[in-house]
Structure 1
Amino acid sequence: MQLYDRISTTDNELGTIKFIGQLPSAHAWAGTLVYGIEWDNSSRGKNDGTLDDVKYFEVDVIGAGSFMKANNKKICKRRASFIQSLYEEYHTKYEDQEIRFGTKIVDELGFDKLNRIQSNFMNLKSVSLSRKSIVNVYGDGDESSILNTLVNVINLDISFNLFNGLSVVQDIIGNLRNLSSLNLNGNRFFTSNNSPLIHTNLSILKLSTTLITIPTVNECILPNLPNLSELYLASNNYNDTDISHLQLQSYPNIQIIDLSFNMLTIFPSLPINTLLLSDNYISSIPNQIQSSIKTLDIRHNKLNSFKVIDELAIHVPNLTNLRINKNPVFEVDDEESMFVQLLARFNCHDHKESSTGLTYVNGSPLNNNEIQNAELYFISKVKIGEYEIHNPVRWDALLQKYNMEPINETITTNVYDDNKIKLQIIHNKDHSIFSRVFLNNITILKLKGTLSRILLNNLSILKFSVYYYMHGEEEDPEAKEYLDMNLFSQINEFNLNYNQRIYIEVFTQ
């Protein structure tokens, strides 16, 4: 084994050898050959390549490293070739048939048998060799001509094997001239071991969970796949800076990008049709119009206010298919009300009024009655001050659609019923403002729990305080009144006004 070789284990885990050697004489494994391994599944790791304060190797994912004896029986010995795995998987479907002349069985001659096997391989349209411990193209005794018979293969899945560079992949796909879809998920492609991946017909490429770097994508992938239309890069530990360097401007054929399960915090600017961003940490929308995006999956992120939702509607104006559930702004008891708020903020495809706009939300098709009911309900809530909208163009369009008059902006009195109050929540750290309606009789405990969930990433309620200024004297520290001196007090026990400003103070460590 060599550095950067890939290994598999008997319990189907994959890893990369980052260290080969012996540990100091004081260690229990002294005198034994040891591997330092970075596991693809970081939860299996125990360290960052450090043992007894000595750094033996670097890891790409924090906590993904551990040490293992080279003779550990959990390390699989199998290291197969592509041809060997192909033969094992697909020749079994064409078991040797007996040839009979009358009652006599005749064995096939060697060349005839080989020709029949190759003929069978020529009929293959899809080849799936996932998790076969493949490390190279040919092994000892492999018939190299078999690779030339795969001329009709359209789909190739060689995911979760033991590749550590693109050169072996290039050798495999070089003769597959009709190949359209290639799945390389779960392999590793280190920069020092990469060659260009070249193919004129390949349109779908899956590189998720490979930790392939953006420079490698820019230099070795994009320029050499002229017909690429779909690129999957999920679970590669990318951050905002990484994606800002992804060079798609010169590749208009690419219409689908998957960046799910990465480390993004800002909505990326990419000139594509379908953008998959689920399970990141996105909380803000840049002030830049992205009119090309029609399909967006932004589930399981950190969108925590309807102001951000309004910004999304403004800056991604041509959406037809949106998945946005499982964000903090929607984590409330009244799911139906949240759905109405969401729907009304976007231009929806009303089959009577327009041919553009949202057609699917969270996987469900929209109908005219649903759209109109949501919009009318939303308008009524905004007019009484219970909902806010930060998109004047959309608000004007709603009023015009239903021939309604605008709100009298001079109204500042509390128009809620006696059971509700609207508060403006201000975070001391960044001075962001978040408005929300609360029931007057909820406890401070529940108020803090709500604020923790929607604004503070579930921070313990014991790690922050909430307060307001009596009589609006915000420059006077003596006017500061803390709400959480008694967590079981109710909001209506305090002298709070309509649109009262409430401040969040997070304790320092």
Structure 2
Amino acid sequence: MPHKMIASDEKPLHLKKGKRIECNGERGTVLYVGEVPPTSGVWLGIEWDDPSRGKHDGLHEGDRYFQTRHPTSGSFVRPLKVDFGRSFLSALKDRYREIKGDDTYGVDPTKLSQLKRELNVRFIEIVGLDQVNKIQSCLKDLQVAGLRDEKISKGDQKGLISEECPAIQELDLSRNLLSDWITVAEIVAELPCLRVLNLSENLIQVPDDPESISHCFKSLEHMVLGKMEYSWDDVMTCIKMWPNIQELQIPSNNISKLATPPLLHALQSLDLQANPIGDWEEVNKLGILPGLETLNVSEIGVKVIRFPEGHKTSLFPSLKRLIVQENKIEEWVSISELNKLTALQSLRILQNPVVDMFDTRTSRQLVIARIGSLTNLNGVEIQAMERKWSERDYIKQAATIKLRMKIPDKDFIKIHPRYAELVEKHGEPEEGELVLSHTTSLSSTLIDLVICSPQRPGVKISKKLPKTMTVQRLKVLVNKILNFNDPRCLGLKLTNPKHPGMEINLDNDQKSLDYFSADTGDVVVVQQSTER
């Protein structure tokens, strides 16, 4: 039997569906306000941020009061037990208090170290944080305000904020109790100098009419929206509120699919870190942004980087800085693809399998040689002499691999697209610089291989195997050695520490090791796939 909710004109202002609350240190969202028979009085139906905090999904004693996303994230709480938050100025004055004996305001010394930690969390980079530990002459001169985790849920009487603190340029409102963009707009509208706003970890509902409040955000240039549970469509709706946005950070959201953005042509910097995107083709949809100079796509799960066919790409015409750290990039061809970017100068690519398979120095040389425009790699400047010797060593390695594998020219260029350009620049390597292995004894039909897998860290097995062994038989052997579930789900790749950049996919189960030019000293890298 459905139960009647209290009419809106019968409720106190704070008792409304969608409001954010805190109770005993736990955060949640109000989804129901009304009676829960047979008890009397008002109850709040809460969806808790932590699903283990609740007891049900809004179905109680056979009646549906509300619906949560998780089966155990809902429960009922009396209003008197709930903290509905406080106003912006209440929090501001509490954190930036008057120092006794001096007519100045400043950061409470007992909170300063905490404040600096809060504002410097990994996925948030706000300009000018060093100003926080400078004593401000008064609230009217305060330019950087850190109000993280202050239970702010509302603004103040119109005109009070602009009177008390009109000079704020950078504002951190992360992890508060803000629930709607109207409230945010009311606060921001009274901060005419605001350039940077951080609203991370507030579960704010996407607005129905974003254009109607866009005038409130006209001074805003940099927005941070981490851990908001937003999709790309949600972000594209919100972007209509920020007509002059230049830098957008939206890490750790629910963004898996991207689309060509129609309203981001002024954007210079975009942070998509730790979103479950997975496919580089989605990233390429952002390539039409004419002014985008910095792109952070670390921790998004990509394995392969590809751009359209051609020597250079028209995508990302202004991109100077690219961050692809902590992904799953496995092949050097993906690194060579980045050479197609016409403006790329700085790259961060640490913690990817492709660079982790070699020592830091070798991996650095290979990346430098494959991307001609780089001036900075992983935060370290590339000197002219370093580039010269990286490229010369790369030519020797590539030429050795070409001779050993007998690769046709057209296939070799696909793997090493800069080779001809570098040979023209530095000249062909001398014959004596190419090191090829020769086996002439009766045992030459056997080769020593090392078997390893990134999914079995620390395990390296040496095996003497016949060149005539097929890939299919090798998979069965590897499956037994490394204890994988199914040899059919294994992918094998041949590499060699002495020839960095050599990658041969053992992609035909019926072919022999000799067919793939396997030789003593090669390493078989094993990867278990979830697909069959």
Shared topology, TM-score over 0.5? Answer: yes
Q: CA deviation at 1:282?
A: 1.4
Q: CA deviation at 1:215?
A: 3.8
Q: Which of 67, 70, 89 is the matching residue for 2:74? A: 67
Q: Which of 84, 87, 106 is the matching residue for 1:81? A: 87
Q: Superposition pairs for residues 310-349 of structure 1, below 5 Å?
A: 310-314=336-340, 316-332=341-357, 334-347=359-372
CA distance in 1, matches of 2:413, 2:296: 26
CA distance in 2, matches of 1:17, 1:372: 63
Whichever residue aligns with residue 208 of structure 1, its letter is G
Distance 1:417 1:85, change over 3 A: farther
CA distance in 2, matches of 1:468, 1:72: 75
Deviations 1:280-337 (A, max 9, x none): 11123343422321100011112111122222322x2421110011112223253332
The residue aligned with 2:307 is 287
Q: Which of 357, 366, 386 is the matching residue for 1:370? A: 386
Whichever residue aligns with residue 230 of structure 1, its letter is E
Deviations 1:360-397 (A, max 9, x none): 11111111222222212111111111797636552222
The residue aligned with 1:309 is 335
The answer to whether structure 1 residue 275 and structure 2 residue 291 are counterparts is no
Q: CA deviation at 1:277?
A: 0.8
Q: Which of 488, 496, 502 is the matching residue for 2:513? A: 496
Q: CA deviation at 1:137?
A: 0.7
CA distance in 1, matches of 2:71, 2:379: 35
CA distance in 1, matches of 2:253, 2:326: 17
Q: CA deviation at 1:146?
A: 4.4
The answer to whether structure 1 residue 157 and structure 2 residue 175 are counterparts is no
Alpha carbons 1:35, 1:69 under 8 Å: kept: yes
Distance 1:380 1:154, change over 3 A: same
Q: Superposition pairs for residues 474-489 of structure 1, below 5 Å?
A: 481-485=473-477, 487=480
CA distance in 2, matches of 1:220, 1:157: 18
Whichever residue aligns with residue 89 of structure 2, its letter is I
Deviations 1:433-459 (A, max 9, x none): xxxxxx95345xx34x25x57xxxx9x
Distance 1:58 1:197, change over 3 A: farther
Q: Superposition pairs for residues 106-505 of structure 1, below 5 Å?
A: 120-138=138-156, 144-191=159-206, 195=210, 196-198=213-215, 199-222=217-240, 224-240=241-257, 243-248=258-263, 251-252=265-266, 254-267=267-280, 268-269=283-284, 270=286, 271=289, 272-288=292-308, 289=313, 290=315, 291-314=317-340, 316-332=341-357, 334-347=359-372, 357-385=373-401, 390=414, 393-404=417-428, 415-416=436-437, 440-442=447-449, 446-447=451-452, 449-450=453-454, 452=455, 481-485=473-477, 487=480, 496-497=513-514, 499-500=516-517
Q: CA deviation at 1:78?
A: 5.3
SS of equivalent to 2:171 = strand
Whichever residue aligns with residue 266 of structure 1, its letter is D
**What runs of 5+ residues in structure 1 fail to find an aligned partner?**
98-118, 348-356, 420-438, 462-466, 475-479
Q: CA deviation at 1:344?
A: 1.1
Q: Which moved more, 1:304-313 or 1:255-264?
A: 304-313
Alpha carbons 1:164, 1:193 under 8 Å: kept: no
The residue aligned with 1:90 is 96
The residue aligned with 2:19 is 5
Instruction: Kindly report the root-mean-square deviation, in angstroms, between the aligned alpha carbons of the 2 structures.
Output: 4.6
The residue aligned with 1:37 is 47
Whichever residue aligns with residue 380 of structure 1, its letter is K
- How many pairs does the alignment contain? 414
SS of equivalent to 1:390 = helix
The residue aligned with 2:129 is none
State the identity as a percent. Answer: 23
CA distance in 1, matches of 2:79, 2:367: 55
Q: CA deviation at 1:87?
A: 2.5
CA distance in 1, matches of 2:447, 2:389: 28
